[in-house]
A and B are shown apart, each in its own frame.
Chain A
Amino acid sequence: MLRFVLTRVGLVIPTFLGIILLTFILIRLVPGDPVQVRVGERGITEERRLALLHEMGLDRPLHVQFFDYVGGVLQGDLGISIITKKPVMVEFLTLFPATLELAFFAILFAASIGLPLGVIAAVRRGSAFDHTVMGLSLTGYSMPIFWWGLLLILLFSVDLGWTPVAKRLSDDYFVDQVTGFMLIDTLLSDDPMNEGSFLDALHHLILPTVVLGTVPLAVIARMTRSAMLEVLGEDYIRTARAKGLGSIRVVAVHALRNALVPVVTVIGLQVGTLMGGAILTETVFSWPGIGKWLVESIGRRDYPALQGGVLVIAALVMTVNLAVDLLYGLLNPRIRHRR
């Protein structure tokens, strides 16, 4: 087991170097530089432009910039944002809870609906329910999420007026950022003006959660169904029935336990998709999280912010995938006991 973990961690280093190199090059391939973007159409003298570039250290040869950056990263320094002049790590940590909160609810939403739907669809395979669920999940999976978000806003926010259009909290409230998780911060706030802010925050979460959770929901439902179908045909399911167990116990304990291994993998893999989806969802809903920040950083050619943000997200995705691999062992004794 220890060897397994070490091998996996060993793989992380080359992956990181690749990610750093890729983001470093890609963002510099985008036309324009931070200075040009900032001055806009007014123009600037060539002299002043070069002076500003020199100030940012962007006039040095690319490889020097790269090794300088890698050197910083190795010491835990992600650099300083060109625009806000704040350390990238600080920026990231300030905004990340908003994304994490959204992603957590999205995956919770996706798993709590997708798992039962997939299980029932498998148990009643070929039924109208099965066909409906699979048809809907294919639709959900194929839906471009920015468009899906806009559709939901049109229906629920604009036409019906049930949900807020954007942001994490109504303008009526002002909640100090303590943990960064709005649901917790609103509860922590003892300002009488903020009464009801918790429900308001929850209210703001609904639509973004649904939008971000749609693709994972579809994937989880389909994966659960196919894993369950395979397991339900196994000999040990017949044994469980022959023991006189009720059908709920047979499905929920004997079958689901074995079907969970591939499903948990898929849920783990969705974390990557979720981060990608968060960028679109946060942009649509003006959600002040990492996704929106990254998109803005691209617009502002804020090289350190973008590089740092992508790197930390990549680290998170890899950590989750590693955790999922370790979780296998708990779910599947055949893996646990293998040397």
Chain B
Amino acid sequence: MPLLEIRNLAVEFQTHRGPFRAVDGVDLTLEPGELLGVVGESGSGKSVTMLAVMGLIAWPGKVTADVMRFDGIDLMSLSDSDRRKIVGKDIAMIFQEPMTSLNPSFSVGYQIMETLAVHEGGSRRERRRRTIELLEQVGIPAAASRLDSFPHQLSGGMCQRVMIAMAIACNPKLLIADEPTTALDVTIQAQILDLLVSLSRERNMAMVLITHDMGVVAETAQRVMVMYASQQVEEQPAERLFEQPRHPYTAALLEALPERALEKRLNTIPGVVPGIADRPSGCVFNPRCNFAQERCRIEQPLLEPKLGARVRCHFPIRGDVS
């Protein structure tokens, strides 16, 4: 049984110009312990997809899905209070800005112990012991003396470690990391990433890593989902995706990596991501696509298995996988 199963997820917001779909038709299956990378530009719907899984889309946002099942439980039909028993316990999430994601008015110890208190109860002393243990696991030196520290007394990297400790406090089966290293120094980024990957392996904890850094995905993820303009455009095992992308967007994205630049000039994707009001008809990528044909401008492609990948394209890139 897959840990997380999503069919045709959509998130819709009301705007002045009418409804806008921030996420449109996302299908996703995640096995226990699996590490999935979700890549895409800012505003492509990566975070919103995962916030929908967490049940954190606030009114007036509207979440619809044919199927959204976690560990056999139908998330769509769950009441708010039942949902909260899962969120923070079996599914946990960490965010992009560790400094502002922790409440400035409470000590980090309090904030971790609060999660434990809500989901597991137990005595105050037990929670305290467990919190120290968690802080040690995420690599915070002198953990016991850090309990009473406030977020502003810690560095960004330390704050992210605290966030991770809080997230893994109740041994979640799924950890969603929303650009966990974007706001951190480059030297700290690698440490945090290593920590997340090793925690995931040790605990057989599935992880969704949202990022716009292809390098991070290449190093960590087993499978990669690429999003563009609210839609999921491609999904493949990581290794194959880097070797032979099937969607022209993915291919263009990889060509734009500085590491892959063969000439002096960096490859770029012409044009910009379409905004809320100017989504093109047909394939969302067609105005910027080098391979676009008449059909791409009229008919919206479906997300289908093609050439060993799941891809939303009428004319996926052929080419051999060695």
Pair A337/B152 contact, Cβ less than 8 Å: yes
| Chain A: minimal CB distance from B96 (Å) | 8
Pair B150/A244 contact, Cβ less than 8 Å: no
In the complex with contacts A238-B95, A334-B150, A243-B104 CB distance below 8 A? no
Interface status of B291 (Cβ within 8 A of chain A): no
State the CA gap A258–B104 with chains docked (Å).
8
**B98 nearest in chain A by CB position:** A235
State the CA gap A331–B105 with chains docked (Å).
7
Q: Which residues of B contact A238 (CB under 8 A)?
A: 56, 95, 101
Supplied contacts A238-B56, A239-B166, A243-B166, 11 more A-B pairs, CB within 8 Å: A239-B95, A239-B163, A242-B88, A243-B88, A243-B114, A244-B87, A244-B88, A257-B106, A258-B104, A333-B105, A337-B152
Q: Which residues of B contact A241 (CB under 8 A)?
A: 56, 87
In the complex with contacts A238-B95, A244-B118, A245-B118, A337-B103 CB distance below 8 A? no
Interface status of B21 (Cβ within 8 A of chain A): no
Q: When the two chains form the complex, which single residue of B85, B93, B150, B166 contacts A337, counting CB atoms closer than 8 Å?
A: B150
| Proximity string of chain B (69-86) to chain A, C-beta cutoff 8 Å, 1 when within and 0 when not | 000000000000100111
Pair B103/A236 contact, Cβ less than 8 Å: yes
Q: Which residues of B contact A242 (CB under 8 A)?
A: 54, 56, 87-88, 92-93, 95
Interface status of A254 (Cβ within 8 A of chain B): yes
Interface status of B89 (Cβ within 8 A of chain A): yes
Q: Which residues of A contact B102 (CB under 8 A)?
A: 236, 239
Pair A244/B101 contact, Cβ less than 8 Å: no
| Chain B: minimal CB distance from A26 (Å) | 44
| Chain A: minimal CB distance from B93 (Å) | 5
Q: Which residues of A contact B114 (CB under 8 A)?
A: 243, 245
Interface status of B153 (Cβ within 8 A of chain A): yes
Interface status of A332 (Cβ within 8 A of chain B): yes
The interface size bin for chain A is 20 to 34
Q: Which residues of A contact B106 (CB under 8 A)?
A: 254, 257
State the CA gap A242–B52 with chains docked (Å).
11
Interface status of B119 (Cβ within 8 A of chain A): yes
Pair B84/A246 contact, Cβ less than 8 Å: yes
State the CA gap A242–B152 with chains docked (Å).
21
Interface majority SS (helix, strand, loop, mixed), chain A: helix
Pair A239/B105 contact, Cβ less than 8 Å: no
* 24 pairs from A and B in contact (CB 8 Å cutoff): A235-B95, A235-B101, A236-B102, A236-B103, A236-B104, A239-B95, A242-B56, A242-B95, A243-B87, A243-B88, A244-B86, A244-B88, A244-B89, A244-B118, A244-B119, A245-B88, A254-B103, A257-B106, A258-B104, A258-B105, A332-B105, A333-B107, A333-B152, A334-B104
State the CA gap A334–B89 with chains docked (Å).
30
State the CA gap A40–B85 with chains docked (Å).
80
Q: Which residues of A contact B100 (CB under 8 A)?
A: 234-236
Q: When the two chains form the complex, which single residue of A235, A244, A257, A334 contacts B85, counting CB atoms closer than 8 Å?
A: A244
In the complex with contacts A246-B81, A334-B152, A239-B101 CB distance below 8 A? yes
Q: Which of A192-248 contact B (CB under 8 A)?
A: 234-236, 238-246
Interface status of B133 (Cβ within 8 A of chain A): no
State the CA gap A14–B7 with chains docked (Å).
72
State the CA gap A332–B106 with chains docked (Å).
9
Q: Which residues of A contact B103 (CB under 8 A)?
A: 236, 239-240, 254, 257-258
| Chain A: minimal CB distance from B34 (Å) | 21
**A244 nearest in chain B by CB position:** B88
| Chain B: minimal CB distance from A123 (Å) | 11
**A333 nearest in chain B by CB position:** B150
State the CA gap A235–B97 with chains docked (Å).
8
| Chain B: minimal CB distance from A332 (Å) | 7
Q: Which residues of A contact B81 (CB under 8 A)?
A: 246
Q: Which residues of B contact A245 (CB under 8 A)?
A: 84, 88, 114, 118
Q: Which of B30-73 contact A (CB under 8 A)?
A: 54, 56
State the CA gap A147–B86 with chains docked (Å).
56
In the complex with contacts A239-B95, A337-B152, A244-B105 CB distance below 8 A? no
Interface status of B137 (Cβ within 8 A of chain A): no
State the CA gap A236–B104 with chains docked (Å).
8
| Chain A: minimal CB distance from B318 (Å) | 42
Q: Which of A242-271 contact B (CB under 8 A)?
A: 242-246, 254, 257-258
Q: Which of B111-125 contact A (CB under 8 A)?
A: 114-115, 118-119
In the complex with contacts A235-B97, A236-B100, A337-B119 CB distance below 8 A? no
The 3 lowest CB-CB distance pairs between A and B, nearest first, are A244-B88, A243-B88, A235-B100
Pair B104/A244 contact, Cβ less than 8 Å: no
Pair B56/A244 contact, Cβ less than 8 Å: no
State the CA gap A242–B87 with chains docked (Å).
6
**A240 nearest in chain B by CB position:** B103
**A255 nearest in chain B by CB position:** B103
Q: When the two chains form the complex, which single residue of B107, B115, B150, B152 contacts A243, counting CB atoms closer than 8 Å?
A: B115
State the CA gap A259–B84 with chains docked (Å).
24
| Chain B: minimal CB distance from A58 (Å) | 56
State the CA gap A255–B306 with chains docked (Å).
49
Q: Which of A13-58 contact B (CB under 8 A)?
A: none
**A247 nearest in chain B by CB position:** B80
| Chain B: minimal CB distance from A104 (Å) | 27
**A234 nearest in chain B by CB position:** B100
State the CA gap A242–B97 with chains docked (Å).
14
**B89 nearest in chain A by CB position:** A244
| Chain B: minimal CB distance from A328 (Å) | 12
Q: Which residues of A contact B86 (CB under 8 A)?
A: 244
